[in-house]
Structure 1
Amino acid sequence: MKKSHFLFVLLVVVLLVWAGFPQVVEVKAEPRTLVVPDDFSTIQEAVDAASEGDTVFVKSGTYTESVCIDQTLSLVGEDPATTKIVGEYQLNGTVVLIRHNNVSVTGFTVQPSAYSFSRKGVHLLHVSHCSVVGNVILDNGVGVWLYGSSENNITGNTINGPVERSYGIWADKSPSNWILDNIVTNNYYGISINSDGNTVCGNTVVSNSRKGVTIRSNNNIVSGNVVTNQESGIVLAGSNNVLRDNKVSESELSFDLAWGLQWSVSDFVNDVDSSNTFDGKTVVYWVNEHNNKVPEDVQTVVLVNCTNITVENLVLSNSREGIMLVGTTKSTVRNNSVQSMDDAILLFLSSNNTITDNTVHDSSDGVLLCSSFQNTITGNSIADGNTGIKLDTSDENILSGNVISDGNRGGISLEGSNNNKIFGNTVSDCTRRAVWLWNHASQNLFYLNNFVNNTVNVEKYIADIIDCTFPPNVWDNGTLGNYWNDYNGTDTNSNGIGDTPYIIEENNQDNYPLMEQVDISTIPEFPSLILLVSGLFVVGVLSIICRRAFKSVEMKKQKVSSAFR
């Protein structure tokens, strides 16, 4: 009992001693409002004097300074039309630098004292949960720059640039931000998103000289934007992006699908539906579609991982790609008119398709195949472009019955492409070359083609000429070659085939050059009908021999008749 009594007394003593010490109670200060210029002559002085959660209120006036915010606060201007921050070249050219989370900047005109590309209006650097709302941002190299920043809100700002080398809004390494209801004008690039998971909605993007809205990343939402009068309206280069209700007009390339040769089919998977309009037309962007026909009156066609699709009777212009097949098979592109494109008809990682009877005008590449195999390109008319038909790392395709003429720089280009059959085509009036071979393009078969009035008929890349270790191309099928308008040989037996080969270069020659142009309309589409080709050609040759024999007999008759007069 004594021990228990002692412990009880000891506990009471300890409690009395503890109660005698003064208790420290944390009292949180109420947020203050610091007023410039009433309380502080400069904005930076007020920001430095502020505590977490304070508001710095700036009355109308022009404040020539740069401002760095490195704690949580709200910076509020009285009126964006009359409250101006004019940044001198401090903070590496930034007018307002945000370096802390949960900062709000609203109600200012933000501009540099003089333009240079390095000047930034508002720079969010490695921060989150900040707001830049309702400001006028003028004449910066970058109006709003997010770098390493996420979950920020850029809303309701008017951003006007100096056009040359400027960005309106640039999200770089900055995921999951909201860019909403801004007006972005007269920059080089309007809104540029190089990071994943951003939301770009309700913005008006007008008269930015190069690009309107650029998405070079994945999993973004681009919705309800109005994009007008840019070189490229919306640029899409990424996957799993969602485009809805965007209106693009008066742009040289209204829809610009930017992509790379290193991409896979999955990199092209995006959700672009018919609610988007480009110069009043929709874009057909189908993924995993099968056994269908593309509707008419569309702006651009992109088919990703599709089979048995028909694309016909379309009139397309003013996009980077007119008709693009990616990972698509057993589809037909027929009787379309495509003009003013970078790539009028493009096949990437696609096989067993037919491209036929299309008309292409004024496009960089008329038909372009990249890593695509066993396709048939036939009966197309291609004029006034850079290259008529280009094969890049594409094997075992058939090119037949195409007419490439009237001002193309190049006719047929084969880059690293092998075992293709090129027959029955007419390539004429190319200002650079009819056929361009490079990157070890080999074992391609050319026959029954017409090469007429080209500056150069065949040109090989110089490294390919020096390196002769790979197999050559073949310029006849063993009995029939091609027609070359600069062939100077003779035909002593009048069989329609030159007596001597047409020399292209040391390891390439046409052993059976034709003396007259081939009527390509009589040439069949598929090489399984080669015997018919040969038969038709023999008929043609026989007709030439008969005509010449008939002329000879007539001349002899005239001589005999003259002798008896």
Structure 2
Amino acid sequence: MWGIRVNKSHYFLMSVLGFLLVLVLYFPATASAAATYTITDDATGGDCTAIGIWDPLPKACTLTSDLSVVGDGIQIASDGVTLNGNGHTLTGSGSGLTYGVIMDFRSNVNVVNLTASGFSLGFKINTASNNTISGNTVLNSGTAYLLDSADNNDISNNTADACSAGFVAFSPGVKLQNSNNNTVTGNSVSNCGAGIMLYNSGGNVLTGNVMTGNDKNFNVSGTLDADFINDIDTSNLVDGKPVYYLVNKTNQVIDASTNAGVLFCINCDQVSVSGLAITNNLVGIYLRHTTNSRVFNNTVTGCGEGITMDLSSGNVLSGNQSNNNYWAGFALRGSDNNKLVGNTAYSNGQAQFGFGIDLSSSSGNEIYNNGFNNISQANNVGGSGNSFNLLSPIGGNHWADYDEPSEGCLDANNDGFCDAPYIFPGGQDNLPWIIQGGWCDSIALSLDVAGIYWGSLADYDAGLLSVDFNVDSFFDVYTVQAVGSLNTNGVTVATPLPVSLGDMGPGDTVLLTLQYSVPAGTSIFKTTTFFTLRDLCGNLDEYPGAYPSV
């Protein structure tokens, strides 16, 4: 009797083939290659027809599948072509020195709507110009978008996330290096070693970029003055706070109301910076070629350097806390005749590197009544005439590693100072304080109220009456405010209160003028005006003065 004989191995083979057919029919294809795909302007677009559709008229290659590669991903080898990722992903091996998209020496190239993942560098744009990178995403890679010696490019509406994943720890989302006149707008960089970094790059425009959760969000650095002349507005955000990048500004006030997340002042004069809380930038507050400005009562933490002055002079830094920064709490480079008073620099520097304060090629600066507690406290190299103390009772600074007898600090005469200087590379403090804030007990001030004219309409016509007060500070730095007035008979203060005169140092004298409005018909009047002076230690001194009419 004849029956049907089934070959089991044949049955198994057919089952496997059927399963593979289902995979092909129902799951998108993913191409893979060990070699780099190349896009060129020829009949097939180079390798384009192997990975997508080539349209020769606009010279556009549109991907039709995800791609996996072992080495580099896609190299653009002709000018004027377009690579449209069409929402697909280009995946690298996740190890080694590999590039997702290479655009070296190219111009007028467009790359859009592509995701690159697992490369040490997502987009490599070297010696290239007039290209557009838009709507792309780089994930789980090293540096996402690198422009090196690349000018006049448009980097817009791209995303970088999880840079540094398995690669160099400090990989940025967007890095411009020796690259000028580029537009970087609407990009999002998150969870990377760094956000957006400009190095030796000027004339660039940055708007609407969002940097969140990066180890260091933002920085501009360079060697030439032109490297710092960029157009960077407050629509750029670091951890939800606006970037303030001031160029050639005078008489600007940046205070807590601005909520600034990082501040750069380039070629500025008479700028006031106060009340800021800044974290996670390569530099928190940066002054370059900036003069006659005051930086006070700010907190800077978790940055590479806290507060830095390059080539800046005549500035006052007071009441700032610059702590837990990677390299230095305060850095002065080529900066002369500045004053640092009443600041703290704690826990700055990593391992044996970094300082509480680092001065290089800087001269004539006064640094006193500050608190230092760092791995290495101070470094003073290449400058001259920097003073780390004034005479008693003002004295010098408090150094946490030199305030006990076991550390060499003795106070035989009980004057609050160590009897021997505190010595560090390139300098010394001749009157180091034993106690942090010990200088707070030596405060003295003089409030000289003189030249004040009160009277009646027999003496003055109806209108504005000016009242002058001379205020001078003997020892410490004060912020002076007129905080209130008592008015009678309709006399009102025309100048809004409080009136801040800013920080005052030893020997400074400031003339305060308040204007009072005297209405017609007023005969005899008197007012009472109060002054409040608060020093850097938080002590409060008030001066009430009541003056009868003449």
TM tier relative to shorter chain? 0.5 to 0.7
Q: TM-score, normalised by structure 1?
A: 0.61
* Match of residue 423, structure 1, among 389, 392, 395: 389
Separation of aligned partners in 2, 1:160 and 1:254: 21
The structure with the largest helix share of the pair is 1
Is it true that 1:267 corresponds to 2:217 in the alignment? no
- Paired residues of 2:174 and 2:197 also in contact (CA < 8 A): yes
Is 1:344 matched up with 2:298? no
Residues 63 and 402 of structure 1, relative CA distance in 2, 3 Å threshold: closer
**Aligned twin of 1:143:** 100
3-state SS of 2:226 partner: helix
1:130 aligns to 2:81 (yes or no): yes
Which digits, 9 at most, give the CA deviation of each residue in 1:256-293, with x for residues without a partner?
A: 33x24xx2333211111111222211011111111110
Indicate the percent of aligned positions where both proteins have the same amino acid: 25
1:236 is displaced (CA, Å) by 2.0
Match of 2:186 among 215, 218, 224: 224
Structure with greater Cα Rg: 1
Task: Identify the residue that residue 73 of structure 1 maps to in structure 2.
Answer: 43
What is the CA distance between 1:183 and its match in structure 2?
1.4
Answering whether residue 168 of structure 2 is matched by residue 180 of structure 1, we say: no
Q: Match for 2:266: what amino acid?
A: V
C-alpha offsets along residues 299-353 of structure 1, whole Å, 9 cap, x if unaligned? 0010111111100011111111111111111110011111111111111111111
In structure 2, the partner of 1:154 is 111
Alpha carbons 2:372, 2:397 under 8 Å: kept: no
Equivalent residue number for residue 105 of structure 1: 61
Are 2:318 and 1:356 equivalent residues in the alignment?
Answer: yes
For each residue in 1:415-466, what CA deviation from the matched residue of structure 2 results, as whole angstroms up to 9, or x when unmatched? 21211111169xxxxxxxxxxxxxxxxxxxxx94466562xx6xxxxxxxxx
2:362 corresponds to 1:394: yes
SS in 1 for 2:227: helix
**Is the Cα–Cα contact under 8 Å of residues 483 and 514 in structure 1 kept in the other structure?**
no
Unaligned runs of 5+ in 2: 1-27, 165-170, 350-354, 444-474, 478-503, 508-550
* Aligned mates of 1:488, 1:63 — CA distance in 2: 69
Q: Looking at both structures, which has the greater relative contact order when contacts are Cα pairs under 8 Å and sequence separation is at least 6? A: 2
Mark the runs of 5 or more structure 1 residues left unpaired by the alignment.
1-58, 86-97, 426-446, 458-481, 531-565
Structure 1 pair 327/516, CA: closer, same or farther in 2 (3 Å)?
closer
Partner amino acid for 2:183? I
What is the match of residue 432 of structure 1? none
Other structure's SS at 1:196 match: coil
Q: What displacement does 1:149 show? A: 1.3
Shift of 1:490: 9.5
How many residue pairs get matched?
Answer: 392
The residue number in structure 2 matching 1:212 is 173
CA distance in 2, matches of 1:371, 1:247: 33
| Separation in 1, partners of 2:241, 2:38 | 46
Structure 1 residue aligned with 2:348, among 385, 397, 414? 385
Amino acid at match of 1:190: A
Matched residue type, 1:137: L
Q: Give the AA of the match of 1:139.
A: G
**Following superposition of structure 1 onto structure 2, how do residues 140-539 of structure 1 map, counting pairs within 5 Å?**
141-162=98-119, 166-194=120-148, 195-209=150-164, 210-216=171-177, 217-237=179-199, 238-257=201-220, 259-260=221-222, 263-296=223-256, 297-363=259-325, 364-386=327-349, 387-405=355-373, 408-423=374-389, 448-449=395-396, 454=401, 486-487=407-408, 519-521=438-440, 522=442, 524-525=475-476
- SS of equivalent residue, structure 1 residue 267: helix
Q: Does the CA-based 8 Å contact 2:206-2:233 persist in structure 1?
A: yes
Evaluate the alpha carbon distance shift between residue 244 and residue 508 of structure 1 in structure 2; reply closer, same or farther with a 3 A threshold: closer
What displacement does 1:487 show?
3.9
Residues 84 and 111 in structure 2, CA contact (< 8 A), matched pair in contact too: yes
Letter in 2 for 1:411: Q
- Paired with 1:377 and 1:390, the residues of 2 have a C-alpha distance of 12
The answer to whether the Cα contact below 8 Å between 2:39 and 2:48 also exists between their aligned partners in 1 is no
